[in-house]
Amino acid sequence: MAVTIEIPTAFRRFTDGAPKVDCSAATIAEALNVLTSRFPDLGRHVRDDQGQIRQFLNVYLNEEDIRFLGGESCTLKEGDRVLLVPSIAGGC
């Protein structure tokens, strides 16, 4: 599936400044793997030493946090948007 990964400013120094990266992938995991193999320096910023998505990096498929969609194995369809967003919070 052709999908678009939106890159936050902080990560663009690893993507040659590109704000969006188009790729073909069937799952979120695959999309992230395509991204980090295309931009290897980004790899350690996306995944920790155990290979898990970093705790403070939130990944969204369109409007939804992927943790509500079964995690990174969730499947993609044509035209989906994948967002990488740092974790922040208000409230108490």
Partner 1 sequence: MSVNYELRCRECSKTWGNVPRSFCEDCFSPLEVAYDYDALKTIASRENLAGRDFNMWRYSELLPLPEDFTGPNAVGGTPLVASRKLASRWGLKNLYFKNDAVCFPSLSFKDRVVATALSAARRFNFTTVGCSSTGNLANAVAAQAAQQGFDACVFIPGDLEPAKVLNTAVYGARIVRINGNYDHVNRLCAQIADRFQWGLVNVNLRPYYSEGSKTHGYEIAEQLGWRLPDNVVVPMAGGSLITKIAKAFRELVTLGWVEPKPVKFFGAQATGCSPISDAVKRNLARFEPQKPNTIARSLAIGNPADGPFAVKQILESGGWAEDVSDPEIVAAIKLLAETEGIFTETAGGVTTGVTQKLIAQNRLKPDETTVVCITGNGLKTTDAIAAEFPASEAIAPRLDAFEAYLDAHLGTAAASAKA
The residues of the shown chain that bind partner 1, judged by CB under 8 A, are: 8-10, 13, 45, 54-58, 60, 63, 65, 67-68, 83, 85-92
Cα-only R_g, the chain: 13
Candidates 44, 48, 38; CA nearest to 15 is 38
- Distance in angstroms (rounded) separating the CA atoms of residues 82 and 65: 10
Taking the least distance from each CB to partner 1, the nearer of 22 and 41 is 41
3 neighbors 22 (Cβ within 8 angstroms): yes
CB of residue 62 vs partner 1: minimum separation in angstroms? 12
Taking the least distance from each CB to partner 1, the nearer of 63 and 78 is 63
Taking the least distance from each CB to partner 1, the nearer of 24 and 52 is 52
